[in-house]
Structure 1
Amino acid sequence: MKKIIITMLCIMCIGFAGAQIAKNPAPKLIKSPEVSGTGKVTFRFLAPNARKVMLIMDDAKVRPMQKDTAGIWSFTEQFSPDIYRYTFAVDGNVLPDPNNPMIKPLFKRALGQSLAYVPGPKTLSWEVNQVPHGILSQHFYKSDIVGDERDFRVYTPPGYNPNRKEPYPVLYLFHGITDETSAWTTAGRENVILDNLISQGKAKEMIIVNTLGYGAPEMLEPGAGPYGKAALKKNEELFVSSFIKEVIPRIESIYNVGKTKKYRAVAGLSMGGGQSLDVGLNHPELFSYVAGFSAAVILLDPDYEKAFPKLDASINKDLKLIWIAIGKDDFLIESNRKYKAWLESKNIKFFYQETEGVHSYNVWRRYLTDFSQLIFKD
């Protein structure tokens, strides 16, 4: 009798659960982004009760989305082959695309930025080809200088040999503000770019290190407010100290890399571009190559004489290359032009380039492609 009652209860439970599922069906899945063979991209977001939905992209153009009778908002545009960051602003709340698994995480945030991939010819440096591939590794450590647990990521080239007689050179590559250590692989595709260039004989076999760019990570805590001068100064000073005293020694103890400036290059984008110029030009004894991609020099001391107290023309014999580039429509263009003029006034030799583009990985992938072909060649 007891067995019969239990069986009936189970049947009733299953029936009740089925009724609930029918009453509350699973969320509707939509295709977003939908990329056509010609590069036409349609972005979609399901929000039947939203009043306004906007598509937000790096170029800051206003892209209002339109809602259909099913409550799906959409926007369609033609794009050239590349990888684009985007989010949706839903009644003022900024969200990634819930239907797109391609995402670039943000530091101390649960939600990141979605990535729309528009395939192109295999000649593009960030397109995956049938070539030998390197390995990506993640390392964790306690920073005694910053006082937190953090990580750095490492790309080792195809066929990396820890016992090779000639040590490998290292490119220390910094990310931008709000990014975390995976940004140069998720959005920048550094590993794909180097795989391709190395296989083509255009770049030397090298290791790339992506370290966390915050000396004051509390700046990025939710509700921390705008970054003040004191916080920015602390962030920069502790970052540089941790990078030189903690990250570089760890890399040189774990990997088969050269331990002199001949084997070191430093570069970065945005905040990381300012940091790479800071650490590279203030420590020419440590590096031979320095690059700033859309460098946020505005985050440094605006008095460049204080930010670079020892910098003069003598650095021309210490560094093999200072490389600076920025997009013509980048919001940091004027600050970079002022910095360029200041370097010229100090008789510093450097390469400077303004290209088409905004503050985005669309230009930074190209800069990495160009810069990585110039380093460690002699």
Structure 2
Amino acid sequence: MSLTRREVARAVAATVGGATLAGTALGAPADAAAAQNGTATAYGPRVRHTGKGPTGYEVTFRFHAPGAKRVQLKGEWYFERPGELTERLTGPDHLVETQGLLPRQWKPGDVPASHPNSTSPIWPVVDMTKGPDGVWTYTTPLPGGVYTYGFFVDSDADDTTTTGQLPDPGNPAWNVTDGVVHGRAVDRSQIYVPSDPHFHAVDRSWQGPANGPRGKLRYVIYASPGHVTPADENYLVVYTPPGYDPHRAKPYPTLYLSHGGGEDEMGWSTQGDLANIMDNLIGQGEIAPMVVVMPNATGYASSTQELAHRTDLIERVFPWVEEHYNVSTSASDRAYTGLSAGGMRTVYLLLDNTEQFGYYGVMSAGLPPGTTFGAARVAALKEVSVYVGCGWQDPINPGFTLNGTALHRGPFRAVRDLTAAGVHVQSDFVDGGHEWHVWRILLKDFLTRVAFLPPTTASAAWGT
């Protein structure tokens, strides 16, 4: 169980004492980011190009805690080597066991993957070294990409621990200004590492800070009568693209982006690296500018197939967003996608509220058991664009059961069943497990191949 918003904020303040908490651009070396932004920076990560193997880059993580007896670092960097797996795909009779390679063992083609393979974030925990200045450090090579990490102070954390995890006060989330948290306090930070082509690393620059104009993130509280926690109100995070024009003649399309289990409205804008991904894809002309809405899908009264959340989304979130932003009110200009539990929300909307969106992206989820395809449902599904994606090694591929209840039958069966019903599906499966490395890639894929693009099926006859 994670700390509450208030507990995380208090813990960070107590740990860093009087240190200045200044925001740094995700993944930029802390000192360089401070110079660029004209701000003072607390102790934070340093990214250094070494030009040496195995990756060409190394990161030094720093945490100022002079009174601590032990500081540990947990980072999203176990790796797997797909080409050396005995089987590539997790199936009904085989769970892919990843190798648990450490960064110093990295080779081209390796990808982040929790170890042992699981739906939980199982990542290595290491002890940091204390310097005479009270700064604890740990240095490791890392290949290009975005990595999540957090600290544990005077605890005995292991690779499954999340309780007591602290973010990096020198590299806080976007919603922290001068040590004050606006919205939910998150218990982890992210770092972006560039790719060195000399070591045949995959170019992940689309996940790094954009060189050009950047969009903005905003934390929103809106009225939600009937919502339980908090009572009668709920949260959104909203991204507006670079150069957003509230008076533009053509309203913007809207992407609704849903978090997974154990996450909330902050998941995609932190671990998901949403703003950087959008800024880069928009800046490079790969996608059109759009508004992105990230709702909180937790805290509702229990309901079948998350009906309470779906009702709130359609009856309250849609009107609020359309009143406060220059977005289209047409379903054809709305897209919905989400990961894991958010993938199931996508499925529920796809099946039962098909008319609300023009584009649906299912990540790491499948169809509920017993799903049927009558003529009316098939006709409705043929009017929208459907995308399904997952990691090859994801344990949920055969389906997923929670507390003895089967929630879905897996993404592979979803592609098969939808296709068999006559519904065109675009799909993508990439090496990786149930983790953000996969979901960032799938988000990019959904946006560049499916969302707000014309259908890929041809209705015209091809002659005789």
Q: TM-score, normalised by structure 1?
A: 0.73
User: 1:57 — aligned with what?
Assistant: 76
3-state SS, counterpart of residue 36 of structure 1: strand
Q: Is the 8 A contact 2:236 2:296 kept in 1?
A: yes
Q: Name the amino acid aligned to 2:239.
A: Y
3-state SS, counterpart of residue 285 of structure 1: helix
User: 1:182 — aligned with what?
Assistant: 266
Matched ranges for 1:1-378 at <5 A: 33-37=45-49, 38-43=56-61, 49=69, 55=74, 57=76, 59-61=113-115, 63=124, 65-66=126-127, 76-88=139-151, 90-92=155-157, 93-98=163-168, 100-103=170-173, 112-120=187-195, 124-146=205-227, 147-216=231-300, 231=302, 233=303, 236-295=306-365, 297=366, 302-305=368-371, 312-319=377-384, 321-335=385-399, 336=410, 337-374=412-449, 375-378=451-454
The change in CA–CA distance for 1:329 and 1:79 in structure 2 (over 3 A counts) is: farther
C-alpha deviation, 1:33, in angstroms: 4.3
The change in CA–CA distance for 1:124 and 1:67 in structure 2 (over 3 A counts) is: closer
Give CA deviations for 1:43-91 in whole Å, capped at 9, x if unaligned: 56769755x9573537333635356687998765432111112335631
The change in CA–CA distance for 1:309 and 1:40 in structure 2 (over 3 A counts) is: farther
User: Once the two structures are aligned, what percentage of the paired residues are identical?
Assistant: 28
Q: Is the 8 A contact 1:87 1:95 kept in 2?
A: yes
Structure 1 unaligned blocks of 5 or more: 1-25, 218-230
Q: TM-score, normalised by structure 2?
A: 0.61
Q: Is the 8 A contact 1:126 1:192 kept in 2?
A: yes
C-alpha deviation, 1:354, in angstroms: 1.2
The change in CA–CA distance for 1:138 and 1:91 in structure 2 (over 3 A counts) is: closer
- Higher mean alpha-carbon deviation, 59-68 vs 363-372, is at 59-68
Q: Name the amino acid aligned to 1:250.
A: W
Q: Is the 8 A contact 1:214 1:236 kept in 2?
A: no
Q: Name the amino acid aligned to 1:272.
A: G
C-alpha deviation, 1:240, in angstroms: 0.8
C-alpha deviation, 1:253, in angstroms: 2.0
Structure 2 unaligned blocks of 5 or more: 1-16, 21-41, 50-55, 78-112, 116-122, 158-162, 176-180, 197-202, 400-409, 455-464
RMSD between superposed Cα atoms in Å: 3.7
Larger radius of gyration: 1
Give CA deviations for 1:301-321 in whole Å, capped at 9, x if unaligned: x42428x888743234311x2
* Distance of 2:247 and 2:332 partners within structure 1: 19
Q: Name the amino acid aligned to 1:168.
A: Y
Give CA deviations for 1:347-373 in whole Å, capped at 9, x if unaligned: 332112210122222222222222212
* Distance of 1:28 and 1:153 partners within structure 2: 28
User: 1:222 — aligned with what?
Assistant: none
* Distance of 2:19 and 2:327 partners within structure 1: 51
Q: Is the 8 A contact 1:281 1:311 kept in 2?
A: no
* Distance of 1:279 and 1:177 partners within structure 2: 17
C-alpha deviation, 1:203, in angstroms: 0.7
Q: Is the 8 A contact 1:103 1:112 kept in 2?
A: no
3-state SS, counterpart of residue 95 of structure 1: coil
Q: Is the 8 A contact 1:63 1:75 kept in 2?
A: no
Q: Is the 8 A contact 1:86 1:96 kept in 2?
A: no
* Distance of 1:66 and 1:165 partners within structure 2: 56
3-state SS, counterpart of residue 323 of structure 1: strand
C-alpha deviation, 1:101, in angstroms: 2.4
User: 2:110 — aligned with what?
Assistant: none
3-state SS, counterpart of residue 150 of structure 2: strand
3-state SS, counterpart of residue 452 of structure 2: coil
Q: Name the amino acid aligned to 1:305.
A: T
3-state SS, counterpart of residue 358 of structure 1: coil
Residue correspondences, number: 333
Q: Name the amino acid aligned to 1:365.
A: R
- Higher mean alpha-carbon deviation, 122-131 vs 262-271, is at 122-131
- Structure number having the greater helix percentage: 1
* Distance of 2:214 and 2:128 partners within structure 1: 43
Q: Name the amino acid aligned to 2:257.
A: L
Q: Name the amino acid aligned to 1:324.
A: V
* Distance of 1:118 and 1:243 partners within structure 2: 36
* Distance of 1:358 and 1:293 partners within structure 2: 12
Higher relative contact order (CA closer than 8 Å, sequence separation 6+): 2
Q: Is the 8 A contact 1:168 1:207 kept in 2?
A: yes
Give CA deviations for 1:114-157 in whole Å, capped at 9, x if unaligned: 32332348872122233222233333212014243222122222
Q: Is the 8 A contact 2:167 2:187 kept in 1?
A: no
